[in-house]
Amino acid sequence: MASPVPLKEKRLLDVRISELPSWVLMRDFTPMGIAGAFRRGYDRYYNKYVNVRKGSVAGLSMVLAAYVVFSYCLSYKELKHERLRKYH
Amino acid sequence: MLSRVVLSAAATEAPALKNAALLGPGALQTARIFHTGQPSLAPVPPLPEYGGKVRFGLIPEEFFQFLYPKTGVTGPYMLGTGLILYFLSKEIYVVTAEMFSSIATIGLLIYGIKKYGPSVAEFADKLNEDKLAKLEEAKQASIKSIQDAIDMEKAQQALVQKRHYLFDVQRNNIAMSLEVTYRERLHRVYREVKNRLDYHISVQNVARRKEQEHMISWVEKSVVQSISAQQERETIAKCIQDLQLLAKKAQAQPVM
């Protein structure tokens, strides 16, 4: 499946599943590359939800909700012991 | 011209930017742009009016659009409900005492946001607008001052076209002053010449008067000298006779 655009520069949603491993391996995993990826993600979110004329609370609340979910996942190991029933 | 500078600067950075996402808020969702080409940074696009739409304040609209073709409108809601029930029943989400406190907190937050959200938004918008108005004012003031400078330049350039009036007036003035000086000097010449001629005339008059007087006095003197004694006695006797005649005549008249 030769595509007109070279594989390295495609975005994730345009990559076919068969090409996925090679796409993942081709990404930039140097510290600068990872920092660049974080930077790009932050910029995308910021420019879409926060850096607008009439922003809403959604820009902030989504970040807080993601933090809540993430911290719940981290502390699931301790929370498992507070279950009400043993078998589900 | 500045855009060319920016483009060339972007071109030099292009190899590093090839992996980066393209900047352009609002354009990201509409066109799937590949990571090729140089992003054009100028002119900077204006800020979008509203952010991405979000439902319930938590889930972006794109998720609902993603599921719409396959499951219709209620798909995501069913998915949400199913997930919540699954987490609760399998106790992947454990019900603890914190749950009730968090429900109360979140309820309070939602109430507060729904009630005071618009007024806070208005306040923030007003702050923004004030800032923008100040910048706009500065820009307008700068534009106006530059426009005034341009107008003044144009006026002065127009004045340069009218310089010849000034030169004409000056030339007329000079010609007039020349004329005045010439006439003044002419008059002075006339006066001086007249002065000299008057002098000669007065000298002649004086000379003639002196001669007349001298001659008259000389004639008188000679006449007085020529009157001998005898002639003098005869003249006096005649005068006395005349006087007597006159006296008679004078006496006779008042009687009539």
- Distance between CA atoms of B23 and B161, rounded to whole angstroms? 53
Tokens 């949400």 locate to: B80
Closest-CA residue in chain A for B127?
Answer: A53
Identify the CA nearest to B28 among candidates A10, A34, A48.
A48
Please tell me which of the candidates A51, A54, A82 has its beta carbon nearest to residue B25. Answer: A51
- Chain A interface mutation, best of B18, B28, B33, B34, highest count of A Cβ atoms under 10 Å: B34
Amino acid at B134: K
Tokens at residue B165, please?
A: 């009036």
Q: pTM of the entire structure? A: 0.54
Judge contact between B101 and A86, C-beta under 8 A.
Answer: no
Instruction: Supply B177's token pair.
Output: 């002053």
Interchain pair A48, B34: CB under 8 A: no
What percent of chain B shows pLDDT beyond 90? 57
The answer to whether the Cβ–Cβ distance between A43 and B32 falls below 8 Å is: no
Give me the interface pTM, i.e. the ipTM. Answer: 0.76
How far apart are alpha carbons A79 and B243 in whole angstroms? Answer: 182
Chain B residues in contact with A26 by the CB 8 A cut-off are: none
Q: Which two tokens stand for residue B33?
A: 């742009």
| B15-67 pLDDT per residue, tens | 444 444 444 454 445 566 666 666 666 778 888 888 888 888 888 888 899 99
Amino acid A3 reads: S
Q: What is the pLDDT of residue B14?
A: 47
pLDDT digit of tens for each residue in chain B (256 aa)? 555 554 555 445 444 444 444 444 544 455 666 666 666 667 788 888 888 888 888 888 888 999 999 999 999 999 999 999 999 999 899 988 889 999 999 999 999 999 999 999 999 999 989 999 999 999 999 999 999 999 999 999 998 888 889 999 999 999 999 999 999 999 999 999 999 999 999 999 999 999 999 999 999 999 888 887 778 889 899 999 999 999 988 887 766 5
**Separation between Cα atoms, residue B41 and residue A48, nearest integer Å:** 17
**Residues of A within an 8 Å Cβ radius of B:** 5, 9-11, 13-14, 28, 33, 36, 40, 43-44, 47-59, 61-62, 65, 72, 76, 79-80, 82-85, 88
